Structure 1
Amino acid sequence: MDNSGLYVGLDMGTTSIKVIVAEKVKGQLNVIGVGNARSKGLSRGIIVDIDQAAEAIRSAVDQAQEKASIEIQDVVVGVPANMLKIEPCNGLITVDENSREITDQDVHDVAASALITNLPQEREIIDIQPEEFIVDGFDGIKDPRGMVGVRLEMRGKVISGAKGIMHNLYKAVSKAGLNVISMILTPLAESHEILNDGEQDFGTILIDLGGGQTTASVVHDHQLKYVTTDPEGGEFITKDISIVLNTSMDNAESLKRNYGSADSEMASEDRDVPVDVVGQSEPTIIDEKYLSEIIEARVDQIFTRIKERLDKINALRLPGGIVLTGGVAALPGIVELATDKFDINVRLYIPDQMGLRHPSFSAGLSLVAYYSDMSEVDMLSRSAVDASMTQVRKAHSQVTNSSNDSSDGKQTGKQKRQKDNKKRGEGIRKFFSDFFE
């Protein structure tokens, strides 16, 4: 499949929003533009203010447009792993009673049939992962197209998330003037880009240490098997430094980046670190080891909670070990601390693309790489998900518009009560005003 073309990935993190513009030519993905803006309207990876989030997205997109010298309209959006569920799914369709060749439409239809599940109203399907196709009882088929059969089945995994999270994400991107061509689960994209073939096959744990939260994903047999999130990340480390050293958040972030280490054993007691303390004209001097002890305490706490969950599913026995990425993974000593904590082999992933050689760009780059590498079968299965999500949003939009139209025509009981209460309030205020005069 020739996936040549331009791709734009949008990674919406708690502390920063990143836009990656990449061009794929003859199988080679080259980054031609990058945008990076401070996040607004997000908390722990979730949008809490649509207008502010849209403004931050637009700022990052404008930067990427200027650097890439193109106008960005279509984006691939990363979906956080909050409130995620991974469940088995099965699809079945009759191709033709007299048997015929299986087509692209048949693959789309069998994926759509697998999506018919009894999901609660508050959940929405994010993605579907085909594991195998079965043609007339013959299993283990990866691509059934061109085969002749009467009955086509699909077995795989369906990934669902909270409908509110998905809606707000889509709404913020749309409000920024962009068209969402696909919404992809970020850990799924990262596992595809970051882990090599052997790590995906034999089993590996991928830990993304973000600014607002930490996400741990387990990949085995080339499938995303388990995802968990911890509600703490780099932002909490900065807050700890700010509180303990009585300094501003900006100064605390600067201290973390310039002098910090996740492993206090690697830090020096002889190296002085100046700290601008609130209320003092002269900076206070501390040693590097003390700063690192503050950082290590928080990172160790995050690792402890992640380890407890991974132990419950025996994930730490997988031969691939742990791969660290995300902005916090740039801290010196993070690999050593993780190795001691989890007692297995740990490596650090940093993108090798020019201008993106920092682990905080892993998610954005993974989105464009994953989407550009999707096979035709994956695209056809994915199209069923996109069609389903489009119908849900269209129905929601119609209900919202209908509600707005009806409210314009007549007052609801609540609106009438509010109007009556307002009149009574005005009457009471006038009484007291006259009384005191």
Structure 2
Amino acid sequence: MDNNEIYVSLDVGTTEVKVMIGEISAGMLNIIGVGTAPSNGIKKGAVVDIDATVKSIRQAVEKAERMVGVSINQVVVGINGSHIQLQPCHGIVAVSSPHKEITQEDIDRVMDAAQVVSIPRDREVVDIVPSQFIVDGYDEINDPTGMIGVRLEMEGLLVSGSKTVLHNLLRCVERADLEISDIFLQPLAAGEVSVSRDERNLGVALVDIGGSQTTISTFKDGSLVTLNVVPIGGAHITNDLSVGLRATQVEAERVKVSHGHAYIDDTSEEVLAVIQPMGSHEQEEYSQRELAEIIEPRMEEIYEIVAEELSSIGDIPGGVVLTGGTVMMPGSLELAREMLGRNIRMAIPDYIGVREPRYTNGVGLIEFAHLHVKMNHMEMVVATNDDEEQPPLRKARKAGKQRTDQGEESPGVRKRVRSFFKVFFE
């Protein structure tokens, strides 16, 4: 393990916190550890209870540590939510090299120039997602490094987020004794394992149905084009079951996972679920069809919203790719094909131990970090418990750590964490 690259991803969702340890060996990714814990401090994608969120993160980290026998110090963090906004941006600079050869420094300068825009004070520029570079008027360039030119331009999308949401999330991660190596936009990371390069070039929609929100992101010409987050997801199905069956949220979630079905036509009257209603000492039985009669209308509502969003975007030749924990429910894919009327498939990570749609974001964060970011000293992300200099559990690497509560004069998120959202089309 010492000779291989180790990455640890942290996916803080509304219903579950997932920590995933990936090992890159001979260019191949292996998922060697996974830790999950109920997410108790997140509502609608934002932190509402810092202590509860910190506790959930620590529980997930400890489970992953015990599985692999290592101590986690650093993580790459995914961000998502309705607070994320995209807007077009454009930057232009003169090539600085005396020989007019474009270097990484020129690319960094043109991306910085593209960030000189006016945004509200309560928002923070996270980074730039380039769509193309232009060298002396020649466009559609993916990587201008090494080219000869006088003028370098970049067109892309500026990603901004709510300062409150971003800083509270980063504070929770740091209070869990973890150092943040990088921060990525989750739809970009999920796209790395969910959609192929050909689909991204042709045009494809990635629909991630999570606990309390559904993220609809579209890609075209190899780049992220649109991003829309709607506040409805699997937690609403659980709530519907809780009300309809007069059961607790925990009982409703259990029944949804074990016996839930999203497509009434494919259900069975013979498959029965036993429910313990609130305020009653007697158990009740419900057939899978009866459960589906509660579940399907809510899933239809989600797909109707997706259909409206896709119709406003226009033609998507590559079709729709579904992912997220909610689509694990039987019948979700069949209902989507009936309602959306497009080429639809489900994205499942092809790694042992995580072959479920709910792990797409975690795997994507690791792959995105490995493919697009040259991280410094990644061998220090984890340290074996046999190392005498390391404690048996996590060790907070405080040297150089940037706090998120330094006030207005502190550098932004992009300055604290090196290179967010790298180019999506290497």
TM-score by length of 1: 0.82
Number of the residue aligned with 2:248: 248
Alignment root-mean-square deviation, CA: 2.2
Q: Secondary structure at the match of 1:149?
A: coil
Q: Which residue identity lines up with residue 229 of structure 1 in the other structure? A: V
Question: How does 1:22-421 map onto structure 2 within 5 Å?
Answer: 22-96=22-96, 98-314=98-314, 317-374=315-372, 394=406, 396=408
Where structure 2 has 5 or more consecutive residues not aligned to the other structure, the ranges are: 375-401, 412-426
Distance in structure 2 (CA, Å) of the matches to 1:98 and 1:32: 48
**SS in structure 2 opposite 1:148?**
coil
Please report the TM-score for the alignment, with normalisation by the length of structure 2: 0.84
What is the CA–CA distance in structure 2 between the aligned matches of 1:310 and 1:349, rounded to whole Å? 18
Q: Do 2:207 and 2:320's aligned partners in 1 also have CA atoms closer than 8 Å? A: yes
Distance 1:97 1:298 in 2: 58
- 1:166 maps to a residue whose letter is L
Amino acid across the alignment from 2:179? N
CA–CA distance in structure 2, aligned partners of residues 185 and 51 of structure 1: 24
Q: Distance in 1 between the 2:288 and 2:349 partners?
A: 28
Give, in whole Å, the separation in 1 of the partners of 2:60 and 2:129: 31
Q: Distance in 1 between matches of 2:159 and 2:362?
A: 20
Q: Closer, same or farther in 2 for the Cα pair 1:94/1:306, shift >3 Å?
A: same
Q: Is the 8 A contact 1:126 1:183 kept in 2?
A: no
Task: Judge conservation of contact 1:96–1:151 (CA < 8 Å) in 2.
Answer: no
- Tell me, yes or no, if the aligned pair for 2:171 and 2:403 is still in contact at 8 Å: no
Provide the C-alpha distance between the structure 1 equivalents of 2:77 and 2:104, rounded to a whole number of angstroms.
Answer: 25
Q: How many residues align?
A: 382
Deviation at 1:391, TM superposition (A): 11
Superposed CA deviations along residues 188-247 of structure 1, whole A, max 9, x for unmatched, are 111122101221111111111111211111111111111112212111111111111112
Identity of aligned residues (%): 38
Structure 1 ranges of 4+ moved more than 4 A: 390-395
Q: Which AA in structure 2 matches 1:342?
A: L
C-alpha distance in structure 2 between counterparts of 1:119 and 1:391, whole Å: 23
Q: Specify the alignment match of 2:399 in structure 1.
A: none
The higher-RCO structure (CA 8 Å, 6+ apart) is: 2
Q: Which has the larger radius of gyration?
A: 1
The CA distance in 1 between the partners of 2:278 and 2:40, in whole Å, is 25
Deviations 1:297-335 (Å, cap 9, x if unpaired)?
111112222222222222xx3121111111111110001
SS in 2 for 1:145: coil
Query: Quick one: which amino acid aligns to residue 195 of structure 1?
Result: V
CA distance in 1, matches of 2:143, 2:230: 37
Given that residues 320 and 345 in structure 2 are in contact (C-alpha distance below 8 angstroms), is that contact kept between their aligned partners in structure 1? Answer: yes
- Greater shift after overlay, 106-115 or 36-45? 106-115
C-alpha separation in 2, matches of 1:372 and 1:293 = 44
What's 1:383 paired with? none
Question: The residue matched to 2:326 in structure 1 has which SS?
Answer: helix
Gaps of 5+ in 1: 377-389, 400-437
Q: Residue deviations 1:40-79, cap 9 Å, x none?
A: 2100111111222112111111111222222212211110
Of stretches 360-369 and 104-113 in structure 1, the one that deviates more from structure 2 is 104-113
DSSP-derived class of the 1:396 partner:
coil
SS, match of residue 22 in structure 1:
strand
